[in-house]
Structure 1
Amino acid sequence: MIRQVRFDKKTRVVDALVQRIERGELGTGERLPGEHELAAEFDVSRGTLREALSELKRRNYIATQTGVGSIVTYDGVPLHQSAGWARALAAGATQVATELLEITAVERPELAVRLGTARFICIRRRRRAADGSLVSLECALVPATDGLEQLPALGLVEGSLTATLVSHGFTGARGRQWIGAEPLDEASAEWLQRPQGTVFLKTLRETYDTRGRFMEQVESLLDPSHFQLSLSFGNEP
């Protein structure tokens, strides 16, 4: 009976934090409140809270860093290792704020064969650290179909690209991701307010929905001093 009560409390904490993360109330790169604060909020013991955090870590919603705490790593489309990287990007010890720069219609003929369309909507965002420095630049391409072509006029649902895609019938099911590095070109350097040629990490992720349709390609440029790449394998002890 005691174990069952503890399990129920852990599940309640996990479910509540998952909802906050998936709704964007706790965004990628943000630090969770401390264990003492969370334990008091949910009226659970520190042991139960740590079990809940371990479950969130196992499900790739957070990463834990010594001396920093728990950082949100969920990006809206968790990828299994069989489809690429299970958790390709883990945020560093920096809280960040996301800025929406533009939503524009673009044509990319070179992607037509692989992605099945040459017409996209580009959602460009950048992230700023607590000290004011710009640490990432992102361009998300979504197909200009199924109502998404109206995004330049309508904007994102609740400011969330994930929520917008779901509201238009796209739910991520599988994908793949590439990781590399490259110097910033002139346009990217201007967006990030860095010297042209500064080397940033580069990730490119393609996601397909439950019906097999292409739903999103996200290209991200990441300041390597604020982000790290992480690959999990095997069974955790």
Structure 2
Amino acid sequence: MSKQVSPGKRQQIVDTLAQRIRDGHYRLGEKLDGELRLAAEFDVSRGTVRQALNELQHQRLIATETGRGSFVIFDGHQLSQDRGWAQSLAATGSEITVAVLGVERVRRADVPLLPAEVRMDQGIAIRRVRILRSADDTAEPVSFECSTVPAEGRLAQLPETGLLRGSISQTLAQAGLSPTRGTQRADVHPLDEREAEILRRDAGTAFLRTARTSFTADGRFAEHVVSLLDPRHFTLALTFGDER
């Protein structure tokens, strides 16, 4: 027989964990206890715990990962998709700058590696390169990214208005598109002539290529980003299984 839990119990979990986060009980980037442990602590089902964690995510107090997931690591530092790579890279202490190469309207057929399930006739492509400045003041491109968002609402005017504070994640949030789920695939990609010129490498140089497609909680397409990542700095990690 399933256990019936009142909304007040769920709110108690939200309030307790939120207070622990604000009090510094959890360090920045540290994982909360797993769902099973939290369910045992509060004497509720895992479903109730999951609802509470979803509420904390909506409050932007946590970023949740369930079941299986992958994340990108830059020089040993995990990059957060939730708050955007710009903030994550800044937290690593590395001097990274971003150059926007272009913001333009594109047809669906022009978007590489876009899954068939994405419903989009026209999108806005934002092409950017990230540049790492070393201690000896040399600069080298370490990634080339093309993010495509739907050409709808405020986003349709991005070629004229530009990104909000230079951030795609903040621009999506302003447009009411907050990604909560998605897929990511990765392979090894030899740079073509154009990519090699942008990244200042020889054509054919092997780079890590990731394609990440994100959707909102109600299933709307939010963003598709294809990244070419320098394997000397970037790796891809996979997590799997339930927290115990």
Superposition TM-score tier, normalisation by shorter sequence: 0.5 to 0.7
The residue that corresponds to 1:138 in the other structure is 145
Q: TM-score, normalised by structure 1?
A: 0.65
The residue that corresponds to 1:197 in the other structure is 204
Q: Secondary structure at the match of 2:125?
A: strand
The structural deviation recorded for 1:158 is 1.3
Establish whether residue 11 from structure 1 lines up as the match of residue 21 from structure 2.
yes
Establish whether residue 185 from structure 1 lines up as the match of residue 195 from structure 2.
no
The residue that corresponds to 1:57 in the other structure is 30
**Percent pairwise identity:** 37
Q: TM-score, normalised by structure 2?
A: 0.63
CA-to-partner distance for each residue in 1:12-36, whole Å, 9 max, x for gaps?
376xxxxxxxxxxxxxxxxxxxxxx
13 and 192 in structure 1: CA distance in 2 versus 1, 3 angstrom threshold = farther
User: Which runs of no fewer than 5 residues in structure 2 stay unpaired?
Assistant: 1-16, 33-59, 77-91
Establish whether residue 115 from structure 1 lines up as the match of residue 118 from structure 2.
yes
CA-to-partner distance for each residue in 1:177-227, whole Å, 9 max, x for gaps?
001111001111111111111000000000011221111001000000011
Give me the whole-angstrom Cα distance separating, in 1, the residues matched to 2:153 and 2:217.
Answer: 15
Deviation larger for 85-94 or 163-172:
85-94
91 and 112 in structure 1: CA distance in 2 versus 1, 3 angstrom threshold = closer
Does the CA contact (< 8 Å) of 2:182 and 2:215 recur in 1? yes
The residue that corresponds to 1:176 in the other structure is 183
Does the CA contact (< 8 Å) of 1:103 and 1:124 recur in 2? yes
Give me the whole-angstrom Cα distance separating, in 1, the residues matched to 2:131 and 2:20.
Answer: 33
Please tell me the residue identity of whatever aligns with 1:107: R
How large is the Cα RMSD of the aligned pairs? 2.9
146 and 187 in structure 1: CA distance in 2 versus 1, 3 angstrom threshold = same
Give me the whole-angstrom Cα distance separating, in 2, the residues matched to 1:161 and 1:8.
Answer: 27
Please tell me the residue identity of whatever aligns with 1:58: K
Kindly indicate whether structure 1 or structure 2 has the higher relative contact order, using CA contacts under 8 Å at least 6 residues apart. 2
User: Which runs of no fewer than 5 residues in structure 1 stay unpaired?
Assistant: 1-6, 15-47, 60-75
The structural deviation recorded for 1:88 is 2.1
The structural deviation recorded for 1:114 is 2.9
79 and 224 in structure 1: CA distance in 2 versus 1, 3 angstrom threshold = farther
Does the CA contact (< 8 Å) of 1:79 and 1:87 recur in 2? no
214 and 188 in structure 1: CA distance in 2 versus 1, 3 angstrom threshold = same
Establish whether residue 166 from structure 1 lines up as the match of residue 151 from structure 2.
no
Q: Secondary structure at the match of 2:176?
A: coil
Q: Say which one has the larger Rg.
A: 2
148 and 236 in structure 1: CA distance in 2 versus 1, 3 angstrom threshold = same
182 and 13 in structure 1: CA distance in 2 versus 1, 3 angstrom threshold = farther
Give me the whole-angstrom Cα distance separating, in 1, the residues matched to 2:238 and 2:124.
Answer: 30
The residue that corresponds to 1:91 in the other structure is 74
**What count of residue pairs does the alignment treat as equivalent?**
176
Does the CA contact (< 8 Å) of 1:170 and 1:210 recur in 2? no
Does the CA contact (< 8 Å) of 1:138 and 1:221 recur in 2? yes
Give me the whole-angstrom Cα distance separating, in 1, the residues matched to 2:103 and 2:214.
Answer: 19
